[in-house]
Structure 1
Amino acid sequence: MLEEELLYILALQRVKGIGDINAKKLISHCGSAKNVLNEKKSKISKINGIGENTLQFLSDKNNLKAAEKELNYIKNNNIETLYFLNDNYPKKLKHCIDAPILLFKDGTFNLENRPIISVVGTRKITSYGRDFCERFIAELALYNPIIVSGFAYGVDICAHKAALKNELTTIGVLAHGFEEIYPKSHKKYVSEMHKNGGFLTDFWHNDVLLRENFLKRNRIVAGISEATIIIESANKGGSLVTADIANSYSRDVFAVPGRTTDSFSKGCNDLIKRNKAAILTSAKDLVEMLNWDLESKTPVPIQKQLFVELDEKEQQIYDFLLKDGKQLLDAISLNCNLPIYQTTTILFNLEMKGVVKPLPGKLFEAI
Structure 2
Amino acid sequence: MKEEKLLAILRLQKSKAVGDILAKKLIVNVGDVVQIFKEKPTTLSKINGIGNYALKHLFDEKNVKSAEQELKYLQDHKIDYSYFLDDDYPTNLQHCIDSPILLFKDGNIDFSNNKIISIVGTRNMSSYGRDFCNKLIEDLAIHNPIIVSGFAYGVDICAHKASIKNKLQTIAVLAHGLEEIYPKVHKKYINQVNENGGFLTEFWHEETPLRENFLKRNRIVAGISTATIIIESAEKGGSLVTADIANSYDRDVFAVPGRTTDIYSKGCNNLIKNNRAQLLTSANDIVKMLNWDIQEKPKSIQKQLFVELNENEQKIYDLLHEKGPQLLDVISLECNIPIYQLSSILLQMEMKGVSKPLPGKLFELV
Q: TM-score range by the shorter chain?
A: 0.7 to 0.9
Residue 89 of structure 2 is aligned to residue 96 of structure 1: no
Provide the aligned C-alpha RMSD in A: 1.0
Determine if contact 2:113/2:146 at 8 Å carries over to the other structure. no
The aligned residue for residue 135 of structure 2 is 135
Displacement of 1:295:
5.6
Unmatched 5+ residue regions in structure 2? 297-366
Q: Give the aligned residue type for 1:19.
A: G
1:165 equivalent in structure 2: 165
SS across alignment from 2:141: helix
C-alpha deviation, 1:238, in angstroms: 0.2
Cα deviation digits, residues 16-35 of structure 1 (max 9, x gap): 21110100000001112211
Aligned to 2:37, the other structure's residue is in SS state helix
Q: Any idea what the Cα deviations from partners look like across 1:49-105, whole Å, max 9, x if unmatched?
A: 111111111111221221111111112222111111111110010111110000001
1:283-336 C-alpha deviation (Å, 9 max, x unpaired): 00000000013569xxxxxxxxxxxxxxxxxxxxxxxxxxxxxxxxxxxxxxxx
Report if the CA contact (8 A) 1:234-1:263 is conserved: yes
Aligned to 1:43: 43
Q: Is the 8 A contact 2:83 2:103 kept in 1?
A: yes
Q: Which position in structure 2 is the counterpart of 1:248?
A: 248
Summarize the alignment of residues 69-108 of structure 1 with structure 2, pairs less than 5 Å apart.
Answer: 69-108=69-108
- TM-score normalised by L of structure 2: 0.80
> Residue 336 of structure 2 aligns with which residue?
none
Which residue is 2:202 aligned to? Answer: 202
Matches within 5 A, 1:24-43: 24-43=24-43
Amino acid at match of 1:184: K
Structure 2: how far apart are the matches of 1:293 and 1:199? 29
Instruction: Specify the alignment match of 1:215 in structure 2.
Output: 215
Q: AA paired with 1:166?
A: N
Quick one: distance in 2 between partners of 1:136 and 1:159? 9
Q: Which residue of 1 aligns with 2:289?
A: 289
Q: Counterpart in 2 of 1:179? A: 179
Q: Which residue of 2 aligns with 1:153?
A: 153
How far apart, in 2, do the equivalents of 1:178 and 1:109 lie?
Answer: 15
Is the deviation greater in 92-101 or in 220-229? Answer: 92-101
Alignment of 1:297-316 (within 5 A): none
Unaligned segments of structure 1, at least 5 residues: 297-367
Aligned to 1:274: 274
Q: Say if 2:113 and 2:145, in contact at 8 Å, map to a contact too.
A: no
Secondary structure, aligned partner of 2:229: strand
Q: Which residue is 2:305 aligned to?
A: none
Write the letter of the residue equivalent to 2:225.
Answer: S
User: Could you say which residue in structure 2 is the equivalent of 1:53?
Assistant: 53
Letter in structure 1 aligned against 2:78: N
Structure 1: how far apart are the matches of 2:262 and 2:235? Answer: 11
Contact kept, 8 Å, 1:175 with 1:203, in 2: the verdict is: yes
Tell me whether 1:20 sits opposite 2:28 in the alignment. no
Distance 1:121 1:110 in 2: 24
Q: CA deviation at 1:263?
A: 0.7
TM-score (norm 1): 0.79
The Cα of 1:114 is off from its aligned counterpart by: 3.1
Q: Is the 8 A contact 1:253 1:277 kept in 2?
A: yes
Paired residues, number = 296
Matched with 2:349 is none
| 1:232-243 equivalence runs, <5 A | 232-243=232-243
Partner SS, residue 199 of structure 2: strand
User: Conserved in 2, the CA contact under 8 Å of 1:81 and 1:104?
Assistant: yes
Q: Deviations over 1:253-282 (max 9, x none)?
A: 000001111111110011001111000011
Larger mean Cα displacement after TM superposition, 287-296 or 128-137? 287-296
| Counterpart Cα distance in 2 of 1:66 and 1:30 | 23
Alignment identity in percent? Answer: 66
What is the Cα deviation at residue 113 of structure 1? 3.1
Q: Does residue 265 of structure 2 align to residue 260 of structure 1?
A: no
Q: Which amino acid aligns with 1:165?
A: K
Matches within 5 A, 1:335-354: none
Look up the match of 1:231.
Answer: 231
Query: Residue 45 of structure 1: CA displacement?
Result: 0.6
Q: Spell out structure 1 runs of 4+ moving beyond 6 A.
A: none
Distance 2:159 2:113 in 1: 21
Is the CA contact 2:117–2:228 (under 8 Å) kept in the aligned structure 1? yes
